[in-house]
Structure 1
Amino acid sequence: MILKTCGKPSADMYGLFGRIQKDRFMDSHGEDKEALDLAIQGYREGLKIDANEYLLVNVATLLVIKGMDLETSAEMRKICNTLNLRVGQKGNISTINDYWDVATLFEVRVISEDYAGAVQAVERMYLLDPPDWELESTLGNIKMICKFRKPPEESKIAKPQKTQNFGVKETTIMDYLILIHSE
């Protein structure tokens, strides 16, 4: 690994390594488990240097893909709580103007199965009118979460009370996001 030849790799270098391995995993349609493990390892190493939102959300997403959930993983709970706190400190979702902050919140809400909160994030993402590549990156992560997460009957996450009466699921959120972005 080239990072071993580097004197002191930065968090960004580990993040790039994690991204390359994550892409390998995605390109293998979820078959290359070594790439998944290397991606998680890369992002975790980056977190030791700088616990930024990019590294945090990627570790959380990849842990879901690996089969972990908030009930059984203290690491995931800590990451999701940290991300909620950090993005929350930036203000109400309706006032956040950085796409990646809102996308991070969206991803965390989907991981947490807080679909009412995910819909709020989707609506804000739409208003920000992000470039297609940003939206595709976010949707790629959401699709991976949906594909690999434990089925609801295996999940031990306490389901939040429904605050809206439309029974939103991950795929419905993605369909909604795609629909409003294509308008």
Structure 2
Amino acid sequence: MTRVVLADDQAIIRAGLTVLLQGGDGEPITVVGEASDGAQVVGLTRRTRPDVVLMDVRMPGVGGVAATRALRADPGCAGVAVLMLTTFDTDAEVLGAMRAAADAPVPPAPDPRLTRLSHRERQVLVAVAEGGDNAEVAREMKLSPDTVRTYVSRILAKVGASSRAQLVAIAHRSGLMDRRS
């Protein structure tokens, strides 16, 4: 049985997730607690020791990214998986969650779109996925910011992504960050 804590500032979202999780035919899932902000979820997780925390990125007070950092810093919560939930598709949200060491919900799988990229484009993608903005990537790779901007535009077009956040997700889901092309 998988034990889950739900963290979202909207009660209706928590209720919907509870119905979805507990109504499945697969492995039994039990919601052991709900929290409406990050401070609550940290305390609740410490008390209940769930297997998984489903954490909203944006909550009032302590947000999901800060709460994830707190959980990752707590040795007693080392075995708890944290899966981030968000309706936002911004670089800051995705990068914040990844930097806080949130867990991915699926194991890396090769993405055939990455075969369309040159070696240099893959290097730029890795630098972007590590959180670098154009100026930081340019300094790291000894390129001009305009050249990096051009590479990012080409990468977006080649993989059919519409944002840097999608590029970050593609890089991580495909295992590219593990291979460091």
| TM-score, scaled to structure 2 | 0.31
Q: By percentage of residues, which structure has more helix?
A: 1
Structure index of larger Rg: 2
Q: By percentage of residues, which structure has more strand?
A: 2
